[in-house]
Structure 1
């Protein structure tokens, strides 16, 4: 970070000192200060190596600590195979149990492996906020991803996302997903099906969704096509969205039985187009 003087710098979080001198086209530092910076760099590198080394088998993991997992004595580094051998795998024994129940409070989540990534120690019991049922133990990263990420991102990028959400007995019995995922499925449907007409032909490009709002019993999407400068709207009613959600759930459950990936939402028989 530059200070008030051209020669005053903050290097390696040390206090700004007037240490630099110019010699021709070069900037020089005192030898002792340069050695201090070299020492700081080596200590930092040693800490990175320590943080990425599995504490059991000594395997080297990703540089940025993806294998770090909390323990009662602080954070430790465990590779996925060692985590799998150390922590229990969740078998659904709390399925249908309410998150606020005494049974959940008496069972620690950190004794289990995260049921989504299957690589890290679980940190908390994830639960459905709509119905209150436990879904399973998740590590801090996966738990945050489910709760804070865009619903569409979680459904499309996280393997096993739909089946994890259906660990909630309320969602499973009603063949639905939490309400925050409904608009996401309607959006996925619109992106997959909606195109405008240009010169009597259906545009081949996926539209850009500028805005979506829920009003008068329908999700209204404002769409645009960057290639043809076209704009239009598409309404997906709440009832239609509920049907899309149920179809998505049924496909996820059928794919689980068949051992296949969850398919994308299917194109309906009709869609709305506009003249550009």
Structure 2
């Protein structure tokens, strides 16, 4: 069914060009700078079915031979953005980072940090940030980020890029809204395709039940610790290692062929060969190099499949001997498990129950190789009432102690193999360490 696109019909659909004019007019007096082509300029993509405005993902509707958007949604997004106060002195570093974490997502995701880094690293650098492709203004979620970008250089180091904290929060909210929009669209698509899929795969041509798709192929051999204690830096350079890895079944799910060697980034030891799916599942959802979102997949890692993942992580001799986890995983565990009771809840619309507030985020300061200086900060973002609150600040050593207690209660078989008196699989020479600044002990390798 097609609907007529009204150029500026109150409460109805408006064309993308009219939406550009409306957005620019409504946000002209706000603290956060915006652009006049939020719907039609780079990097907006109305053809994807939605456009990001501030912290909202607004669906576009095909009508009258083109696309339109609900005028009410544009006005609502503009009102939310203009209500934001911006302190240009309260800055957050947005790059560049020495090891920029990669995001493995599907779909046309915003990835605003990567987008800014890509634009600023092009020939001309910051000077080209003012214009996008073809000389058109380049924006993110309707925000003219180039007007508030700050470049700072200290001690002859490479320049760093900074944005006001309020702008960073809006762009984070936009990225979150886009993920939720794509997730809902994917679930709707799968729900529509599921009946026919079941019908095709329930029986073969003779009406017999087909084999389970999650059964490992007969040619795959189970992993039995053949790479125990090996350093990834040396093993990954050996000829033919990729072919050897592909011969194993994934050491975590044990149903798919292995594709990569998972290893501990802190101690450098190989854990086991795993499939792409498990490798992606285990990867921390980084925002910055020291800041991660505690996303939904941590429920699987620390709730439904806890024993499998704890056993996998403790294949690293360093983590097993210290009865701990790599810092990103320990931080996620602290936020997801140890601080669960601190997370506020809100009434869930349309039901009598309550749901956890917003999205958990955890960051850390100090060096994990000097645990006396390391502090984990657990916060909640995207509260429905617009709050961004800090739930707890947990010293690294306290987080480790809490994890060890939980490990003994949750996975006693894994805990029994861990600890400083279990050094049978630990190489005689370990990686160099940075001494603990507290002087009490070297708590990590």
For the aligned pair, the TM-score class normalised by the smaller chain equals 0.5 to 0.7
**Cα–Cα, structure 1 residues 257 and 165, in superposed 2: closer, same or farther, change >3 Å?**
closer
Higher gyration radius (CA): 1
Take 1:226 and 1:140, find their aligned partners in 2: how far apart are those partners? 34
Of 214, 221, 226 in structure 1, the residue corresponding to residue 378 of structure 2 is 221
Distance in 2 between the 1:58 and 1:99 partners?
43
Q: Secondary structure at the match of 1:86?
A: coil
Deviation string 1:54-81 (CA, Å, 9 cap, x unpaired) is xxx99366xxxxxxxxxxxxxxxxx333
**Shift, 1:252, TM fit:** 5.3
| Corresponding residue of 2:399 | 241
Residue 40 of structure 1 aligns with which residue? none
Match of 1:115?
Answer: 251
Q: Show structure 2 runs of 5+ residues with no match.
A: 1-46, 48-60, 67-195, 286-294, 345-353, 367-373, 417-445
**Helix, strand or coil: the match of 2:271?**
strand
**Structure 1 equivalent of residue 158 of structure 2:** none
Deviation of 1:238 (Å): 1.8
Give distance in 2, aligned partners of 1:214 and 1:242.
Answer: 14
Matched, 1:80 2:214: yes
Equivalent of 1:152 in 298, 302, 305: 298
Q: Whole-Å Cα distance in 1 between the matches of residues 210 and 314 of structure 2?
A: 35
What is residue 176 of structure 1 aligned with on the other side?
324
Tell me which of 117, 132, 135 is aligned to 2:271: 135
State TM-score, norm by structure 2. 0.35
Look up the SS of the partner of 2:393 in the other structure. Answer: strand
CA distance in 1, matches of 2:323, 2:410: 10
Compute the RMSD of aligned alpha carbons. Answer: 4.4
C-alpha displacement of 1:116:
1.2
C-alpha contact 2:216 2:256 (8 A) present in aligned 1: no
Deviation at 1:205, TM superposition (A): 8.0
Check conservation: 1:80, 1:118, Cα contact below 8 A: no
The total of aligned residue pairs comes to: 190
TM-score with structure 1 length normalisation?
0.53
CA–CA distance in structure 2, aligned partners of residues 123 and 218 of structure 1? 35
Partners of 2:313 and 2:355 lie apart in 1 by: 31
Q: Helix, strand or coil for the counterpart of 1:219? A: strand
Match of 1:98 in 2: 231
- Secondary structure in 2 aligned to 1:176? coil
1:162 aligns with 2:310: yes
Once the two structures are TM-superposed, the CA of residue 115 in structure 1 deviates from its matched residue by 1.4
Q: 1:209/1:110 Cα in 2 relative to 1: closer, same or farther (>3 Å)?
A: closer
Aligned 8 A contact 2:263 2:272 in 1: yes
Indicate conservation of the 8 Å contact 1:195/1:206, yes or no. Answer: yes
Distance in 2, matches of 1:232 and 1:125, equals: 36
Residue 231 and residue 178 in structure 1: after superposition, are their counterparts in 2 closer, same or farther (change >3 A)? closer
